[in-house]
Amino acid sequence: MRKGFAFLVIVLALTALACGAINPNPEDIANNFDEISGPASGDVLLQDDFSNTSSGWSESTFEQGARGYQNGEFRILVTSAEWSVWDNPNQDFYNDVRVEVDAHRAGGPNDSEYGLICRHTNVENFYFASVTVDGYFAISRTVNGGDFEFVGMDSFQTNNAIGVGDATNHLRFDCVGSTLSLYANGVLLASVTDTALTTGDVGVYVGSFDTGGAEILFDNFIVYQP
């Protein structure tokens, strides 16, 4: 055996004995475990007030509408009837998420809808929770390119917690396990279950019905670890 190697073995053995004689701090163990296990409940995973026009959202104009940054907010315009436009920050949250945003109408008809997206894997697969300018709400999905369909309800519902007209609504969409929950201004509007989608991006969404022209502004977009 080489002397250098033998010396190294002895040093390592003594080091191991010394480490074994030290009682670890329980708080240090807990902190290390948190780092390994991922974000803690309530941690902010993503935050955007749209003041930085390079924060990762789209800027584009097309036949059916437009989307992009505007004066410290994010604007989505849907010019076509019975059409939807949405956008994503190009993230992939494999864990459950709680998504929040402030939103209000800048123009368009009363039956325009707007809201939040979770578990967006592509244009054919995502959940979205929305409210309408005249005070209705729904939780919906599209799966494998199918039609948009309600989740846990047969139609739009109404709730007085939703601000109507040009009022700003603080929206929250929790996607936790198989449970999807929509809040408006701190009030739970609906909680439903679905197992079709389990992971993906988040985002903001605007839709029109019989009349085009829906224009919505979003601000203070935050994603939390629920």
List the domain boundaries for the chain.
Answer: 3-36, 42-224
User: pLDDT value at position 93?
Assistant: 75
Is 208 a residue whose pLDDT tops 80?
yes
User: pLDDT value at position 35?
Assistant: 46
Distance in angstroms (rounded) separating the CA atoms of residues 55 and 85: 19
Distance in angstroms (rounded) separating the CA atoms of residues 140 and 51: 30
Residue 115, classed as helix, strand or coil, is strand
Q: What is the mean pLDDT of residues 135-143?
A: 98
Query: Which CATH number applies to 42-224?
Result: 2.60.120.560
Quick one: tokens of 210? 């019989």
Model pLDDT for residues 142-161, shown as the tens digit of each residue: 999 999 999 999 999 999 99
Distance in angstroms (rounded) separating the CA atoms of residues 157 and 183: 13
Closest CA to 66 of 89, 86, 90: 86
Is 177 a residue whose pLDDT tops 80?
yes
Model pLDDT for residues 65-94, shown as the tens digit of each residue: 999 999 999 999 999 999 999 999 998 776
User: pLDDT value at position 137?
Assistant: 98
Is 17 a residue whose pLDDT tops 60?
no
25 — pLDDT class (breaks 50, 70, 90): low
Average pLDDT, the chain: 87
Is 140 a residue whose pLDDT tops 50?
yes
